Amino acid sequence: MGSLVKQRVLRTIILLVLGVYFILPLIAMAEFSTRGKNNTRSLESWTSIVDDEGLMEALVNSLLLSVTSAVLMLVLLVPTMAWIRLRLPQLQRLVEFLCLLPLAIPAIVLVVGMAPLYAWVNYFLGDSPLTLTFAYTILVLPFAYRAVDAGLSAIDLKTLSEAARSLGASWFTVLWKVVVPNIRVALIGASLLSVALVLGEFTIASLLNFDTLQVQVNLLGKRNAGVSIAVSLLCLLFAFVLLFALSYVGQRRRQTVVEE
Amino acid sequence: MTAVAPVATTPGGSTQKKGGAAGRPSVAAWLVAVPFLAFVGIFLVYPTVLVLFGAFQGSDGGFTLDNLSTLFTGVVFDAFVRSIELSALSAVIGAVFGALLTWAIAVGNPEGMLRRIVVAGSGVLAQFGGVPLAFAFLATIGFEGLVTKFLRDNVGIDLFAGSAWLFELPGLTLVYTFFQIPLMVIVFLPALDGLRPQWREANASLGGTSWTYWRHVGGPILTPPFLGALLLLFANAFSAYATAAAIVSQGSPIVPLQIRGFLTGEVVLGQENLGKALGLGMVIVVSIAMGVNVLLQKRVAKWVR
């Protein structure tokens, strides 16, 4: 009994101390971003978020990028990984290695090698920020690979595809009507993760001189800290909502597996 | 494209041996993998190779070890030492406090709201913190931050009396704990969830105390995942760039910021590839940390069997 009480006390202390440690900066951000002149409160920083054209443009860039990167990731990864499980098991280890490689190469190092590459990309495709889609698809590979791999492992891919094939379905139909619907939860998870990752990315965008949300926030901080802090708080809260939703997506999958 | 070629031939050789169940894949079957391999070849393998080989190239394109030997001299070497100090210190702090926090939520309700919030919040700070985290800090303990002002106006303590420490190593260490502790929670939670309540009950029914449980059961089981997480945290802090870049706008105390200097600033003649050598140095440090982790986990897998 004594040890249970001790455990409860210790747990409360840890949660309180670390809770304050992590929540204090959030409160400070709210306080700082609502400072007016002469010790008054004002929402000026918050209202000027919408008025700042550069910031809005960068936000649109980042939102578009989060969609294009998630789509390119799904298009490249899902058919390849399904096909490898079905017909090319020899490639399994290589693809896994390639997908997890970005974990061993810091983004700041990758960007050193990407700088000359992007000189070519911009020469052929123009210098739209959307060309960052390629770099971002690489960045999300490790996370997306794990999610998709878990999804494919949870279904009997071989039997499902053989059944569909024996009924005359083409490979494309198998992929689109059998594989994708069966692993949709994993695909949603992979997409949400990559959206969050792209919206928060700074390293590559800033060093390749593209105008994305985080680059603008950083730039803005030099002349108007209040607005930058307000946007930062919004980013953190938005990412939190995304990941919080993700925790329910994962749970539903666990439940369906149990039911089966 | 050159990088893709060896990639495609290696597995081709192993088809002979395997064959078997799936039959020998036709040429058409291989074609399906081409878009993925081509993309990864161009945008991942090629830049990586460019950095790794560039590190050994002089400004005339010939082979040289000068870039690498520069890593062991002057400011560059100091930056590596500082980077390693920062990563090690923030990893230890992150691992210890992160483990405590993980324990605090692991003993609670697994479907509870508290756990959900902590896990989601940890995910945000660990993976997507970056620039917002830097501004969170400026708002809290920057020159005009909430805590700074409170201490100055009400307690009479000037946080920056000594120096602008927030923008130097101690400040970076403090900021880094804000993504290191959360990362520890994410990495370490599965290990703590793996502790079965029956072990605790067995310990109690044999007359053991809380101490004997952690000394003889929990501790030994959790030590390998704890060390593994520590190494991962080290690699994570060592690779981090965004937060430090947003806080430190002048000077380059750590390696990632030195690389920024090479990418954005004037390149000194004859040192065009020094940035790549720094990149190679970073990859080596990260690979060592991860390699040791892999060896550790393999050892453990043997013991468990």
Mutation target among A112, A120, A222 for the B interface, most CBs of B within 10 A:
A112
The B residues from 53 to 72 touching A (CB cutoff 8 Å) are 54
Q: Rounded distance, CA B34 to CA B41, Å?
A: 10
Count of other CB atoms within 10 angstroms of residue B303: 8
Q: Rounded distance, CA B32 to CA B56, Å?
A: 36
pLDDT class for B71, splitting at 50, 70, 90?
Answer: confident
Q: What pLDDT was estimated at residue A27?
A: 93
Q: What pLDDT was estimated at residue B42?
A: 95
Q: What pLDDT was estimated at residue A59?
A: 92
Q: Evaluate if residue B241 carries a pLDDT over 50.
A: yes
User: A80-117: per-residue pLDDT in tens?
Assistant: 999 999 988 889 999 999 999 998 899 999 999 999 99
User: H helices within A87-131, ranges in order?
Assistant: 92-100, 107-125
Across the interface, of A27, A106, A228, the residue whose CB is closest to B286 is A106
Across the interface, of A29, A134, A214, the residue whose CB is closest to B43 is A134
Q: What pLDDT was estimated at residue B159?
A: 74
Q: What pLDDT was estimated at residue A201?
A: 93
Q: Rounded distance, CA A194 to CA A95, Å?
A: 19
Q: Evaluate if residue A257 carries a pLDDT over 60.
A: no
First to last CA, chain A: 40
User: H helices within chain B, ranges in order?
Assistant: 4-18, 27-31, 34-40, 46-54, 66-70, 74-106, 113-128, 130-141, 146-150, 169-193, 197-205, 210-213, 219-239, 242-247, 255-264, 274-304
Q: What pLDDT was estimated at residue A49?
A: 85
Q: Rounded mean pLDDT of B72-80?
A: 87
Q: Rounded distance, CA B100 to CA B107, Å?
A: 11
Q: Cβ separation of B43 and A135 shorter than 8 Å?
A: yes
Across the interface, of A87, A109, A239, the residue whose CB is closest to B25 is A87
Q: Cβ separation of B264 and A113 shorter than 8 Å?
A: no
What is the rounded average pLDDT for all residues in chain B?
84
Contacts of B40 in chain A (CB under 8 A): 98-99, 138, 141
Q: Rounded distance, CA A13 to CA A9, Å?
A: 6
User: B179-192: per-residue pLDDT in tens?
Assistant: 999 999 999 998 88
Report which residue type is found at B168.
Answer: E
User: B118-172: per-residue pLDDT in tens?
Assistant: 999 998 898 877 899 999 998 998 888 888 888 888 887 777 776 777 778 888 9
Q: Evaluate if residue A231 carries a pLDDT over 50.
A: yes
Q: What pLDDT was estimated at residue A250?
A: 60
Q: Evaluate if residue B15 carries a pLDDT over 50.
A: no
- Which carries the bigger pLDDT value, residue B151 or residue A63? A63
Q: Rounded mean pLDDT of B281-301?
A: 90
> What does the block give as tokens for A125?
């495709």
Closest CA to B177 of B235, B96, B83, B283: B96
- Which carries the bigger pLDDT value, residue B186 or residue B266? B186
pLDDT class for B299, splitting at 50, 70, 90?
Answer: confident
Q: Evaluate if residue B305 carries a pLDDT over 70.
A: no
